Amino acid sequence: MKLWRKVVGKDWHEAAWTLRLECGHEAFRASTYGRQELPVQVLCHSCDFLIGQQVKDRLGAHGRIAGYKNGTFAIAWSKGEWTYSTLDKLREESEIV
């Protein structure tokens, strides 16, 4: 599965462009590209890595990152519950095991 993400922000630095993605991750492009040459969406390898990973919350419950949709990651917990978290919330409230 290819995980294309919309570029929501572009910041230029001397060495590279930083592209902020809708999922909360960042992508980079060489600074030799002009703003008009930058893509409107990119493959997010970080999301590709996260999908399917086992997680544990602060209380010790285990779950699995099952997918991504509309800016949130879906987490299937071992008790049969589902939660939806942004990348920042996922980082704050759980850890990859």
* Alpha-carbon dihedral angle through residues 57, 60, 64, 67, given to the nearest 10 degrees: -20
Domains of the chain: total: 2
Reduced to 3 states (helix: H, G, I; strand: E, B; else coil), residue 88 is helix
Residues 23 and 58 in one domain: no
Please give the residue range of the domain that contains residue 65: 51-96
Compare 69 and 20 and report the one with higher pLDDT.
20
pLDDT for residue 1 is more than 60: no
Instruction: Give dist(CA 61, CA 77) in Å, integer.
Output: 7
pLDDT in the model for residue 15? 87
Per-residue model confidence as pLDDT tens digits over 16-50: 999 999 989 999 999 888 889 999 999 888 888 88
Same domain, 26 and 62: no
**CATH code at 57?**
2.30.30
What was the pLDDT predicted at 78? 92
Total residues found in the chain within this entry: 97
Please say whether the beta carbons of 28 and 11 come within 8 A. Answer: no
Same domain, 62 and 36: no
Torsion of CA 57, 92, 50, 83, to 10 degrees: 60
Residue 77: pLDDT band by 50, 70, 90 thresholds?
very high
